[in-house]
Structure 1
């Protein structure tokens, strides 16, 4: 839900002369998502953006996925993942398809490298005030040898510039990074169990993101707080359990990731439904991603999988 934003120095009109203190022109760059028909921002550089001194192939960045095998539910205990590297190099891709890649990073050091429109309505679970755009702009004009790593088409390429890449003096537009803190999500509750779409936070091409945050349970006298049995006919469901108590899941630990693929029903484990009746609230914090293409399990994820998760619905008498 991007909105217009600007930082630094920009001319009164785009595509007009914008000069440096020494009289030279700043270099205007239009950066867009889909040619000139979607979100874009205009950046003003000290140096010519295409100027690259050296190009080097750093090898493939293609993800290796495990064979599909039998369709079953999965869960991965990511608390056991080792730390190491920086934010990018420590990243372990766990699940993915042609549209969505889900990874987790437990960095051990800081990085030497950096890497539908409209207004939200009153009934939305968050508002524009909760979105945090960039607040400051740092400009560097030093000359020297600077490395930029670019990931395109499953490969990483190393470009060497003769100037600092952060040479922008100003920019404006709709295409920029921003932050949304899940703690700012305001849950929607009702007298009966609310379906997952009320928790939806974002939507992209072939995926949706939902936020499960601490909230009051349903208040109908006959309400059942836990979710009902559910079959994903055309979507896979991935949940990252960040913190708190997850009333509908037994055997789930903090930082676990579950995958419930399309074609299989899933539900709270035995006894969880009965145990939830009469409870007033939940303190769970979790992020759900629904994808509309099947997710594959990356080979890196197999060492963290809990092999008995599929059997967790066999325990007890099924209530």
Structure 2
């Protein structure tokens, strides 16, 4: 769980009238990790977020499991791969998967997305092996730097823009369940404890809003059950004037990860960075 954060303009109380300068109402939306029992945030839209202009034909977006591979030993040599596809979605190449998690690489030729993406199947985690850029979402702008873990909660609508110069290599992890900070690092109210290898100061939430007010044709590609569903809106999904809560994408740099070390080799749990359903993510660092 990240900490409470807020950006932009919000009303003093939730679920109350919040009016625009012309007297019309802002539209309140609640987004959550586990329905009404998980962490959540409240977002305030200029336009109605359910006004769909058109729905296009869905496209297949899934990976075939190598059923005949068995228990053969495998060395996945990915460092020599220059490009894995044209754009961000086309370039996602999942290499390992089961019912809990998929993980793979992504090195797109195009550095900017001209559409928005929403994963309705699960949380995502990107590791920026090489590259720099900006993530734009309903929650605002988030800087992407080399060495960053980027935790993206399920149903976050976002697009990425990376700098043109230099290599771009991403590790992509998709989790069936929420990706969270490690439970044993937290106290009973969710604050990271003194023995945690990182603290709230190391977590970078979106730092400023990015409000897109212009009407037009905005494509949101939604991943759900092996398909990319094509939703077009006549306004941007990034029409948020303010939000607050505990659910939002955030960055954690590998350079700020400091596990407790000892005179001899420590067991793998000291390197755990995140937890999820059925798996953990560890960072083995000096």
Q: TM-score, normalised by structure 2?
A: 0.71
Distance 1:202 1:68, change over 3 A: farther
Determine if the alignment matches structure 1 residue 167 to structure 2 residue 239: yes
Q: CA deviation at 1:82?
A: 4.1
Instruction: Tell me if structure 1 keeps the 8 A contact 2:196–2:259.
Output: no
Q: Say which SS state the counterpart of residue 269 (structure 2) adopts.
A: helix
Question: After superposition, where does 1:1-319 map in structure 2 within 5 Å?
Answer: 1-83=1-83, 84-110=85-111, 111-114=113-116, 115=158, 118-214=190-286
Q: Say which SS state the counterpart of residue 76 (structure 2) adopts.
A: strand
Consecutive unaligned residues in structure 2, runs of 5 or more: 117-157, 159-182, 184-188
Q: Deviations over 1:257-276 (max 9, x none)?
A: xxxxxxxxxxxxxxxxxxxx
Please identify runs of 4+ aligned residues in structure 1 that moved more than 3 A. Answer: none
Q: Say which SS state the counterpart of residue 212 (structure 1) adopts.
A: coil
Instruction: Tell me if structure 1 keeps the 8 A contact 2:95–2:105.
Output: yes
Within 2, Cα distance between the matches of 1:182 and 1:88? 25
Q: CA deviation at 1:73?
A: 2.9
Within 2, Cα distance between the matches of 1:62 and 1:106? 18
Within 2, Cα distance between the matches of 1:47 and 1:79? 44
Query: Which of the pair is proportionally richer in strand?
Result: 2
Q: CA RMSD in A?
A: 1.5
Q: Say which SS state the counterpart of residue 198 (structure 1) adopts.
A: helix
Q: Deviations over 1:81-139 (max 9, x none)?
A: 34142233211111111110102111222222343561111111111111100100011
Between structure 1 and structure 2, the one with the greater Rg is 1
Consecutive unaligned residues in structure 1, runs of 5 or more: 215-319
Q: CA deviation at 1:68?
A: 4.7
